[in-house]
Protein backbone atom coordinates (compact mmCIF):
# COMPACT_ATOMS: atom_id res chain seq x y z
CA UNK A 1 0.00 0.00 0.00
CA UNK A 2 1.03 3.62 -0.67
CA UNK A 3 3.84 2.45 -2.94
CA UNK A 4 5.17 5.07 -5.33
CA UNK A 5 7.60 4.22 -8.10
CA UNK A 6 7.98 2.11 -11.22
CA UNK A 7 6.36 -1.30 -11.58
CA UNK A 8 8.09 -3.78 -13.87
CA UNK A 9 5.74 -6.35 -15.39
CA UNK A 10 7.17 -9.78 -16.12
CA UNK A 11 5.95 -12.59 -18.33
CA UNK A 12 7.07 -15.78 -16.60
CA UNK A 13 7.28 -19.28 -18.06
CA UNK A 14 6.76 -18.71 -21.75
CA UNK A 15 7.02 -22.46 -21.70
CA UNK A 16 7.40 -24.99 -24.48
CA UNK A 17 4.92 -27.85 -24.09
CA UNK A 18 7.08 -30.93 -24.67
CA UNK A 19 4.24 -33.16 -25.90
CA UNK A 20 2.92 -30.56 -28.33
CA UNK A 21 6.44 -29.77 -29.51
CA UNK A 22 7.17 -33.45 -30.20
CA UNK A 23 3.98 -33.71 -32.25
CA UNK A 24 4.29 -30.42 -34.17
CA UNK A 25 7.30 -28.20 -33.35
CA UNK A 26 6.35 -25.44 -35.80
CA UNK A 27 2.84 -25.10 -34.40
CA UNK A 28 4.05 -25.01 -30.79
CA UNK A 29 6.66 -22.35 -31.54
CA UNK A 30 4.16 -20.33 -33.57
CA UNK A 31 1.82 -20.34 -30.57
CA UNK A 32 4.60 -19.12 -28.27
CA UNK A 33 5.67 -16.43 -30.71
CA UNK A 34 2.10 -15.17 -30.88
CA UNK A 35 1.99 -15.01 -27.08
CA UNK A 36 5.33 -13.17 -27.03
CA UNK A 37 4.10 -10.62 -29.55
CA UNK A 38 0.93 -10.03 -27.54
CA UNK A 39 2.96 -9.62 -24.34
CA UNK A 40 5.38 -7.09 -25.81
CA UNK A 41 2.50 -5.12 -27.31
CA UNK A 42 0.93 -5.03 -23.83
CA UNK A 43 4.12 -3.66 -22.26
CA UNK A 44 5.80 -6.78 -20.90
CA UNK A 45 9.51 -6.02 -21.24
CA UNK A 46 10.75 -8.81 -18.99
CA UNK A 47 10.16 -12.26 -20.51
CA UNK A 48 11.34 -15.61 -19.18
CA UNK A 49 11.60 -18.35 -21.80
CA UNK A 50 11.25 -21.88 -20.46
CA UNK A 51 12.40 -24.55 -22.89
CA UNK A 52 13.80 -26.66 -20.04
CA UNK A 53 10.91 -29.03 -20.73
CA UNK A 54 12.88 -30.15 -23.81
CA UNK A 55 16.02 -31.18 -21.90
CA UNK A 56 16.76 -34.76 -22.96
CA UNK A 57 18.22 -36.68 -20.02
CA UNK A 58 18.43 -39.85 -22.13
CA UNK A 59 21.56 -38.37 -23.73
CA UNK A 60 24.88 -39.17 -22.07
CA UNK A 61 26.56 -35.81 -22.75
CA UNK A 62 25.28 -32.73 -20.92
CA UNK A 63 25.65 -30.52 -24.00
CA UNK A 64 23.40 -32.93 -25.92
CA UNK A 65 20.90 -32.92 -23.05
CA UNK A 66 20.73 -29.12 -23.10
CA UNK A 67 20.90 -28.64 -26.89
CA UNK A 68 17.11 -28.61 -27.52
CA UNK A 69 16.77 -26.18 -24.62
CA UNK A 70 19.38 -23.62 -25.70
CA UNK A 71 18.48 -23.95 -29.39
CA UNK A 72 14.80 -23.11 -28.89
CA UNK A 73 15.60 -20.49 -26.24
CA UNK A 74 17.88 -18.75 -28.75
CA UNK A 75 15.24 -18.88 -31.50
CA UNK A 76 12.63 -17.29 -29.23
CA UNK A 77 15.15 -14.75 -27.90
CA UNK A 78 15.95 -13.62 -31.44
CA UNK A 79 12.22 -13.26 -32.09
CA UNK A 80 11.85 -11.11 -28.98
CA UNK A 81 14.77 -8.91 -30.04
CA UNK A 82 13.15 -8.40 -33.45
CA UNK A 83 10.06 -6.94 -31.77
CA UNK A 84 11.74 -4.64 -29.25
CA UNK A 85 10.35 -1.09 -29.16
CA UNK A 86 12.83 1.66 -29.97
CA UNK A 87 15.32 2.42 -27.17
CA UNK A 88 14.12 -0.55 -25.08
CA UNK A 89 16.11 -3.71 -24.39
CA UNK A 90 13.83 -6.46 -23.14
CA UNK A 91 15.20 -8.51 -20.26
CA UNK A 92 15.18 -12.17 -21.31
CA UNK A 93 15.62 -15.14 -18.99
CA UNK A 94 16.26 -18.80 -19.71
CA UNK A 95 15.88 -21.94 -17.62
CA UNK A 96 18.11 -25.00 -17.32
CA UNK A 97 16.16 -27.26 -14.99
CA UNK A 98 12.43 -27.68 -14.65
CA UNK A 99 11.29 -26.71 -11.17
CA UNK A 100 10.52 -29.84 -9.16
CA UNK A 101 13.23 -31.90 -10.88
CA UNK A 102 16.85 -32.61 -10.02
CA UNK A 103 19.01 -29.76 -8.75
CA UNK A 104 20.93 -27.84 -11.40
CA UNK A 105 24.69 -28.21 -11.88
CA UNK A 106 27.50 -25.90 -12.95
CA UNK A 107 28.07 -28.02 -16.05
CA UNK A 108 24.44 -27.64 -17.13
CA UNK A 109 24.62 -23.88 -16.69
CA UNK A 110 27.86 -23.62 -18.65
CA UNK A 111 26.71 -25.75 -21.58
CA UNK A 112 23.35 -23.99 -21.74
CA UNK A 113 24.73 -20.44 -21.84
CA UNK A 114 27.65 -21.36 -24.10
CA UNK A 115 25.28 -23.05 -26.55
CA UNK A 116 22.85 -20.14 -26.44
CA UNK A 117 25.58 -17.55 -26.95
CA UNK A 118 27.04 -19.57 -29.80
CA UNK A 119 23.77 -19.47 -31.72
CA UNK A 120 23.18 -15.79 -31.01
CA UNK A 121 26.69 -14.90 -32.21
CA UNK A 122 26.11 -16.47 -35.63
CA UNK A 123 24.58 -13.14 -36.61
CA UNK A 124 27.99 -11.49 -36.98
CA UNK A 125 26.67 -8.21 -38.38
CA UNK A 126 24.41 -7.42 -35.45
CA UNK A 127 24.67 -9.89 -32.58
CA UNK A 128 21.51 -9.52 -30.45
CA UNK A 129 21.74 -8.94 -26.72
CA UNK A 130 21.79 -12.19 -24.77
CA UNK A 131 20.21 -13.40 -21.53
CA UNK A 132 20.08 -11.35 -18.35
CA UNK A 133 19.41 -14.32 -16.03
CA UNK A 134 18.91 -18.09 -15.85
CA UNK A 135 16.41 -19.93 -13.66
CA UNK A 136 17.81 -22.97 -11.88
CA UNK A 137 16.46 -25.76 -9.72
CA UNK A 138 17.54 -25.88 -6.07
CA UNK A 139 14.91 -28.16 -4.51
CA UNK A 140 11.69 -26.12 -4.61
CA UNK A 141 8.43 -26.98 -6.38
CA UNK A 142 5.81 -24.65 -7.85
CA UNK A 143 2.99 -24.45 -5.32
CA UNK A 144 4.90 -26.73 -2.97
CA UNK A 145 4.22 -30.38 -2.14
CA UNK A 146 0.85 -30.65 -0.42
CA UNK A 147 0.71 -33.33 2.29
CA UNK A 148 -2.31 -35.48 3.17
CA UNK A 149 -3.29 -33.11 6.00
CA UNK A 150 -3.29 -30.10 3.67
CA UNK A 151 -0.03 -28.63 4.92
CA UNK A 152 2.97 -27.92 2.71
CA UNK A 153 5.99 -30.19 3.02
CA UNK A 154 9.22 -28.61 4.22
CA UNK A 155 11.69 -27.94 1.44
CA UNK A 156 15.38 -28.83 1.51
CA UNK A 157 16.73 -25.98 -0.59
CA UNK A 158 20.32 -26.14 -1.83
CA UNK A 159 21.57 -22.64 -1.03
CA UNK A 160 25.14 -23.53 -1.95
CA UNK A 161 24.04 -24.36 -5.51
CA UNK A 162 22.11 -21.09 -5.67
CA UNK A 163 25.17 -19.08 -4.65
CA UNK A 164 27.69 -21.03 -6.72
CA UNK A 165 25.74 -20.91 -9.98
CA UNK A 166 25.01 -17.22 -9.47
CA UNK A 167 28.75 -16.59 -9.17
CA UNK A 168 29.43 -18.64 -12.31
CA UNK A 169 26.78 -16.75 -14.28
CA UNK A 170 28.25 -13.38 -13.32
CA UNK A 171 31.93 -14.23 -13.55
CA UNK A 172 31.94 -16.42 -16.67
CA UNK A 173 29.12 -14.91 -18.69
CA UNK A 174 28.67 -11.36 -17.35
CA UNK A 175 24.92 -11.75 -16.78
CA UNK A 176 22.91 -10.71 -13.74
CA UNK A 177 22.79 -14.08 -12.02
CA UNK A 178 20.35 -16.89 -11.33
CA UNK A 179 16.66 -17.00 -10.45
CA UNK A 180 14.93 -18.88 -7.62
CA UNK A 181 11.50 -20.26 -8.48
CA UNK A 182 8.89 -21.64 -6.10
CA UNK A 183 9.95 -19.45 -3.18
CA UNK A 184 6.40 -18.81 -1.93
CA UNK A 185 6.31 -22.18 -0.21
CA UNK A 186 9.42 -21.52 1.88
CA UNK A 187 9.21 -20.36 5.52
CA UNK A 188 9.73 -16.64 6.11
CA UNK A 189 12.92 -17.43 7.99
CA UNK A 190 14.49 -18.61 4.71
CA UNK A 191 14.07 -15.38 2.79
CA UNK A 192 17.07 -13.51 4.16
CA UNK A 193 19.22 -16.18 2.50
CA UNK A 194 18.44 -14.85 -0.98
CA UNK A 195 20.23 -11.49 -0.68
CA UNK A 196 23.02 -13.16 1.30
CA UNK A 197 23.52 -15.62 -1.57
CA UNK A 198 23.19 -12.80 -4.15
CA UNK A 199 20.12 -14.29 -5.82
CA UNK A 200 19.15 -12.05 -8.73
CA UNK A 201 15.41 -12.72 -8.70
CA UNK A 202 12.94 -14.58 -6.47
CA UNK A 203 9.52 -15.75 -7.68
CA UNK A 204 6.58 -15.55 -5.28
CA UNK A 205 3.51 -16.13 -7.46
CA UNK A 206 1.87 -18.76 -5.25
CA UNK A 207 1.74 -16.43 -2.23
CA UNK A 208 -0.02 -13.75 -4.26
CA UNK A 209 -2.44 -16.27 -5.76
CA UNK A 210 -3.31 -17.66 -2.32
CA UNK A 211 -3.90 -14.13 -1.01
CA UNK A 212 -6.27 -13.29 -3.86
CA UNK A 213 -8.10 -16.59 -4.24
Distance CA 127, CA 149 (A): 53
pLDDT digits (tens, 9 = 90+) for 45-100: 999 999 999 999 899 999 999 999 999 999 999 999 999 999 999 999 999 976 55
pLDDT at residue 151 is higher than 70: no
What is the predicted pLDDT for the residue at 45?
Answer: 96
Query: Is pLDDT larger for residue 183 or for residue 162?
Result: 162
CATH class as words, domain 10-212: alpha beta
Distance CA 63, CA 137 (A): 18
What is the predicted pLDDT for the residue at 143?
Answer: 47
What is the predicted pLDDT for the residue at 1?
Answer: 72
What whole-number percentage of the chain has pLDDT above 90?
A: 63
Predicted structure pTM score: 0.86
Mean pLDDT of 36-48: 96
Please report, for the chain, the start and end positions of each structural domain, with discontinuous segments joined by +: 10-212
What is the predicted pLDDT for the residue at 101?
Answer: 61
Residue 63 burial (C-beta neighbours within 10 Å; 0-12, 13-18, 19+): middle
What is the predicted pLDDT for the residue at 198?
Answer: 94
Amino acid sequence: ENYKGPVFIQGDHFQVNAKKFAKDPKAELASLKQLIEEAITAGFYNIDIDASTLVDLSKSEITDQQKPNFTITAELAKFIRSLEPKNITISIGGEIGEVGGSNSTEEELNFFIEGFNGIMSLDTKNTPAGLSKVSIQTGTTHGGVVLANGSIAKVKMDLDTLEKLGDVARENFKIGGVVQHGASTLPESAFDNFPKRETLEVHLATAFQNTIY
